Amino acid sequence: MKISVIGAGRIGSMSAFEIINRDLANEIVLVDIVKGLPQGEAMDLNQMASEKGKSVKVVGSNEYKDIKDSDIIVVTAGFARKPGMTRMDLLKTNAGIIKEVAQNISKYCENSIVITVTNPMDVMNYIVFKITGFPRKHVIGMGGLLDSSRYRESLANMLNVGRSAIKALVIGEHGENMLPMPRYSTLGGIRISDILSKEQILAAEENTRKIAAEVISLKGATVYAPISCVATMVESIVRDKKDIIPASVYLDGEYGLKDICIGVPVILGKNGWEQIIELNLNEEEKEKFMKGANAIYNAIEELKKEGLLT
Ligand code: APR
Q: State the pLDDT at residue 195.
A: 97
Same domain, 128 and 173: no
Pocket lining: 77 vs ligand 1, CB cutoff 6 Å: yes
Pocket lining: 262 vs ligand 1, CB cutoff 6 Å: no
Pocket lining: 292 vs ligand 1, CB cutoff 6 Å: no
pLDDT confidence band for 111 (50 / 70 / 90): confident
Q: State the pLDDT at residue 88.
A: 86
39 Cα to the center of ligand 1, angstroms:
15
Helices 91-108 & 283-305, crossing angle to 10 degrees? 80
Same domain, 205 and 82: no
pLDDT confidence band for 98 (50 / 70 / 90): very high
Same domain, 99 and 189: no
100 Cα to the center of ligand 1, angstroms:
13
220 Cα to the center of ligand 1, angstroms:
14
Which protein residue has the closest C-alpha to ligand 1 atom 14? 9
Pocket lining: 257 vs ligand 1, CB cutoff 6 Å: no
Mean of the per-residue pLDDT values of the chain: 97
38 Cα to the center of ligand 1, angstroms:
12
Where among 87, 120, 141 does a domain terminate? 141
Same domain, 183 and 109: no
Instruction: Write the CATH number for 276.
Output: 3.90.110.10
pLDDT confidence band for 310 (50 / 70 / 90): confident
Same domain, 198 and 269: yes
Q: Is the pLDDT of residue 223 over 90?
A: yes
Q: State the pLDDT at residue 273.
A: 98
Amino acid at 234: V
Q: State the pLDDT at residue 248.
A: 98
Helix spans in 109-188 (H): 121-132, 144-159
Q: Is the pLDDT of residue 175 over 90?
A: yes
Cβ neighbourhood burial of 136 (10 Å; 0-12, 13-18, 19+): middle
Pocket lining: 38 vs ligand 1, CB cutoff 6 Å: no
pLDDT confidence band for 232 (50 / 70 / 90): very high
Mutate to test the pocket of ligand 1, among 34, 39, 66, 76 (most ligand atoms within 8 A of CB): 76
What average pLDDT does the segment 19-46 reach?
Answer: 98
- Which of the residue ranges 87-96, 145-154, 290-299 would you say has the lowest mean pLDDT? 87-96
Same domain, 283 and 273: yes
Which residues span the domain enclosing 184? 142-310
76 Cα to the center of ligand 1, angstroms:
5
Q: Is the pLDDT of residue 263 over 90?
A: yes
What does pTM read for this prediction? 0.97
Same domain, 262 and 276: yes
Same domain, 67 and 173: no
Give me the catalytic one of 174, 184, 266, 295.
174
Same domain, 166 and 304: yes
**Spatial CB neighbours of 33, under 8 Å, sequence gap ≥ 6:** 62, 77
What average pLDDT does the segment 281-305 reach?
Answer: 97
Phi-psi group of 102: left, alpha or beta (phi > 0 → left; psi -120 to 50 → alpha; rest → beta): alpha
Where among 125, 141, 157 does a domain terminate? 141
Q: How far apart are CA 303 and CA 41, in angstroms?
A: 33
Helix (H) or strand (E) holding 243, with range, is: strand 243-252
Instruction: Write the CATH number for 71.
Output: 3.40.50.720
Same domain, 130 and 164: no
| Catalytic-residue membership of 138 | no
The domain total for the chain is 2
Which protein residue has the closest C-alpha to ligand 1 atom 9? 78
Same domain, 178 and 233: yes
Print burial letters for 13-22: b (CB count within 10 Å at least 16), e (below 16): bbbbbbbbee
Q: Is the pLDDT of residue 171 over 90?
A: yes
Mutate to test the pocket of ligand 1, among 39, 63, 79, 114 (most ligand atoms within 8 A of CB): 79
Peptide bond into 226 cis (omega under 30): no
Where among 126, 141, 156 does a domain terminate? 141
Same domain, 191 and 240: yes
Q: How far apart are CA 299 and CA 218, in angstroms?
A: 28
